[in-house]
């Protein structure tokens, strides 16, 4: 069954807007787990405009489900991941000034670098996932790099949904990932509107990582009801 990992970056963004510790990111992570989410995702960036490196260090020992750290594997990020040893690291090629993640890795052109990254993290027992566009060649390339999983960048799917063509490249990439023996994650702009169709069409999806839409829905529905709603969409046949 597909697992729900909640990205808590937006909670940290609200906190950072005023300073102090309101809302409390650590408490939010624990509450999200207690409400039924099966994982917590954080994406620390060099400018620490939302999740800070210190947050990662404080949250890690509290998480009882699965802890996923995603980000660009620059030296400071790699040091942090190897220090706290999350359950999963997701490698994302976002530039330091990127507003949000906007593309996947070219796993063919960056094979040497990604192979080195995967080997280093896996030596510490960390499952390694590579963020890719919905392209079978990129899935095959990720396998050749030694990744355990790929995460499909789902912004294109969300933009085109409910067009019948929206899911097609994702199915092709997901099938190639499966053929290569990779696990499959998905994330970016998945929401209550488009999530169920994605899961029903690609039911071997291991995990979805959702932040912006979920936290936005929680402003209206409350966090507990929102997580329940997302879990319902994931499990609905």
Residues annotated as catalytic are 43, 70, 188
Q: How crowded is residue 19: how many other Cβ atoms within 10 Å of its Cβ?
A: 7
226's CB contacts (< 8 A; 6+ apart) are 214, 217, 218
| DSSP state for residue 2 in the 8-state scheme | P
How far apart CA 229 and CA 225 sit, in angstroms, is: 6
Residue 185 — φ and ψ, nearest 5°? -115, 165
What dihedral do alpha carbons 111, 115, 116, 117 form, nearest 10°?
A: 100
C-alpha neighbours within 13 Å on the C-beta side of residue 26: 11
Coil, strand, or helix at residue 104?
coil
Q: Comparing C-alpha atoms, which of 131, 122, 121, 118 is closest to residue 41?
A: 131
Q: Are 42 and 59 in contact (CB under 8 A)?
A: yes
């Amino acid at each position: 069954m597909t697992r729900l990992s909640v990205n808590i970056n937006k909670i940290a963004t609200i906190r950072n807007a005023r300073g102090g510790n309101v809302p409390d990111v650590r408490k939010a992570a624990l509450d999200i787990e207690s409400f039924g989410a099966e994982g917590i995702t954080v994406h620390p960036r060099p400018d620490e405009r939302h999740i800070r490196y210190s947050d990662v260090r404080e949250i890690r020992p509290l998480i009882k489900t699965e802890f996923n750290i995603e980000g660009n594997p620059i030296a400071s990020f790699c040091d942090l991941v190897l220090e706290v040893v999350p359950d999963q690291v997701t490698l994302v090629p976002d530039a330091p000034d990127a507003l949000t993640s906007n593309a996947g890795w070219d796993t063919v052109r960056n094979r040497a670098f990604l192979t080195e990254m995967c080997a280093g993290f896996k030596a510490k027992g960390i499952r390694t996932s590579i963020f890719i566009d919905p392209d079978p060649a990129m899935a095959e390339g990720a396998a050749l790099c030694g990744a355990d999983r790929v995460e499909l960048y789902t912004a294109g799917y969300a933009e085109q949904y409910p067009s019948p063509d929206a899911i097609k490249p994702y199915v092709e990439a997901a099938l190639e990932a499966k053929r290569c023996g990779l696990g499959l994650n998905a994330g970016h702009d998945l929401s209550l509107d488009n999530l169920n169709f994605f899961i029903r069409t690609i039911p071997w999806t291991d995990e979805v990582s959702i932040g912006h839409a979920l936290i936005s829905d929680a402003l209206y529905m409350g966090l507990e009801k929102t997580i329940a709603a997302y879990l319902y969409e994931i499990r609905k046949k």
